[in-house]
């Protein structure tokens, strides 16, 4: 059973948290793929930090469970298979031991920029 949360592309600055979901049995992977328009992707110095957090007490407290920071080089980037400007992504694996706990994704953006995201739990 896969769970997908889509965050529409919009202009953001500051901290943003997705809704949280209970990790179902047999969940093995959490993936967040950012969607950053080219104009912001290619603006040198634009950055954002993406994190996953988990809660074992129903959401009263949250603990970091993985993260990464993306910084734009200001240039067009060609990734695998010739994909221009591949979107930043963060993946967590082996979440089986977190069944019944809650998980959410978050971003921290120090400057105004547009982005969206797709979060998939599978």
25 falls in which pLDDT band (50, 70, 90)? confident
What distance in Å separates the CA atoms of residue 51 and residue 18, rounded to the nearest whole number?
Answer: 10
Nearest Cα to Cα of residue 48 among 102, 9, 79, 22: 9
The string of pLDDT tens digits covering residues 81-116 is: 887 888 999 999 888 889 999 999 999 999 999 999
Could you state, in order of their start, the residue ranges of all structural domains in the chain? 3-121
- Asked if 119 and 50 count as a contact pair (C-beta separation under 8 A), the reply is no
Say what the pLDDT of residue 107 is: 94
Q: Please check whether the domain covering 3-121 is classified as CATH 3.10.580.10.
A: no
- State pLDDT tens for residues 30-86: 999 999 999 999 999 999 999 999 999 999 999 999 999 999 989 888 888 887 888
Q: What is the DSSP letter of 88?
A: P
């Amino acid at each position: 059973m896969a769970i997908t949360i889509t965050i529409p592309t919009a202009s953001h600055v500051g901290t943003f948290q997705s809704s949280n979901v209970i990790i179902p049995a047999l969940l093995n992977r959490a993936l967040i793929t950012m969607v950053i328009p080219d104009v912001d992707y290619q603006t040198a110095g634009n950055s954002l930090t993406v994190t996953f957090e988990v809660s074992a007490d129903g959401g009263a407290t949250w603990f970091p469970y993985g993260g990464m920071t993306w910084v734009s080089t200001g240039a067009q980037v060609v990734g695998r298979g010739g994909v221009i400007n591949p979107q930043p992504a963060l993946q967590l694996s082996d979440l089986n031991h977190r069944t019944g706990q809650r998980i959410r994704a978050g971003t921290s953006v120090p400057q105004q920029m547009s982005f969206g995201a797709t979060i998939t739990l599978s």
